[in-house]
Amino acid sequence: MRRDQVALLSGRVGFAFLSPALAFIILFLLFPFVWVVMISFTDRTLLGASAVSPQFVGLDNYLALFNPARWMRRGEFGYSLYLTLIFVAGSVAGQMGLGIVLSLLFFRREGPLKELMYTLVTLAWILPEAAMAFTWSAFFERDAGTLNAILGWFGLGPYDWLLDYPLLSIIIFNIWRGTAFSMLLMTAALGSIRPSYIETALVAGASAWQRFRDVIFPLVRPQFWTGLVLITLWTFNVFSPFLLTQGGPAFQTEIVAIHTYRVAFRFYEFGRGSAIAVVVMVINLLLASVYLISQRRQGVRS
Amino acid sequence: MRLVRFVLARIGFYVLVVLIGSFFALPLLWLFTAPFHPQATLSVQLPTEPTLANFAAVFRNTFAVRALFQNSVIQAGGAMILTTLVASLAAYALARVRLPGRDVLVYVLILFSSVVTGTAAMVPIFLLIFHMGLIDTHLGVILVFTGGLLPTAIFIMRDFVAGLPRSLEESAMVAGAGSWQILRQIVLPQVRPGMMVIAVWAFVNVWGGFLIPFILLRSPEKMPASAATYSFYTEAGTPVITLISAYALLYVLPALALYLFVNWRYGFKFFGGIKS
pLDDT tens column, B89-123: 998 888 887 777 777 888 888 888 888 888 888 98
CB contact under 8 A, B119 and A257: yes
* Yes or no, beta carbons of B123 and A138 under 8 Å apart: no
Q: Is A45 helix (H, G, I), strand (E, B) or coil?
A: strand
Average confidence (pLDDT) over B173-187: 82
C-alpha span between A166 and A174 (Å, rounded) = 12
Say what the pTM is: 0.89
Cα–Cα distance, B154 to B198 (Å, whole number): 9
For A106, list phi and psi in degrees, rounded to 5: -105, 20
Residue A153 Rama label (left phi>0; alpha psi -120 to 50; beta):
alpha
The answer to whether A124 and A177 are in contact (CB under 8 A) is yes
Contacts of A116 in chain B (CB under 8 A): 21
End-to-end CA distance of chain A: 27
- Predicted local distance difference test score (pLDDT) of residue B73: 94
* Chain A: closest CA distance from residue B57 (Å): 18
What's the pLDDT tens digit per position in B10-19? 898 999 999 9
Q: How far is CA A288 from CA A240, A294, B104, in A?
A: 22, 10, 14
- What digits encode the pLDDT tens for the residues A40-81? 888 888 777 677 778 788 788 888 888 888 888 888 899 999
Subunit contact B27:A25, Cβ cutoff 8 A: no
Residues in chain B: 276
Cβ-defined contact of A139 to B109 (cutoff 8 Å): no
A contact residues 15-34, partner B, Cβ 8 Å cutoff = 15, 17-18, 20-22, 24-25, 27-29, 31-33
Of B21, B89, B148, the CB nearest to A21: B89
CA atoms of A23 and A16, how far apart (whole Å): 11
- In single-letter form, the type of residue at position B89 comes to L
Q: Please state the rounded mean pLDDT for residues B170-178.
A: 82
Reference B138, options B72, B91, B94; nearest CA is B72
State the CB neighbour count (10 A cutoff) for residue A258: 25
Under 8 Å between Cβ of A166 and A248: yes
Q: How far is A28 from chain B (nearest CA, A)?
A: 5
pLDDT digits 0-9 by tens, B56-88: 888 888 888 888 898 999 999 999 999 999 999
Q: How many residues does chain A have?
A: 302
pLDDT band at B270 (very low <50, low <70, confident <90, very high): low
Residue of B nearest to A185 (CA): B273
Are A186 and A193 in contact by the 8 Å Cβ rule? The answer is: no
Query: Please, which residues have CB within 8 angstroms of residue A192's CB and are 6 or more apart in sequence?
Result: none
Rounded Cα–Cα distance for residues B164 and B106 (Å):
19
Dist. CA A98–CA B148, nearest whole Å: 29
**Contacts B112 to A, Cβ<8 Å:** 29, 33
* Rounded-to-integer distance, Cα B38 and Cα B59, Å: 16
Cβ–Cβ under 8 Å, residues B123 and B229: no
Distance between CA atoms of A233 and B37, rounded to whole angstroms?
41
pLDDT tens string, chain A, 302 residues long: the values are 444 445 667 778 888 888 999 999 999 988 998 988 998 888 888 777 677 778 788 788 888 888 888 888 888 899 999 999 999 999 999 999 999 999 999 988 888 999 899 999 999 999 999 999 989 988 998 888 889 889 989 988 788 888 899 999 999 999 999 999 999 999 988 888 888 888 888 888 878 888 888 888 888 888 888 889 889 999 999 999 999 988 878 888 999 999 999 988 888 888 888 999 999 999 999 988 888 887 777 665 54
Most B CBs within 10 A among A134, A136, A220, A260, hence the mutation to make, goes to A134
Query: pLDDT tens, B214-257?
Result: 999 988 888 999 888 877 776 666 777 888 888 999 999 999 99
Cα–Cα–Cα angle for A209, A181, A285, rounded to 5 degrees: 110
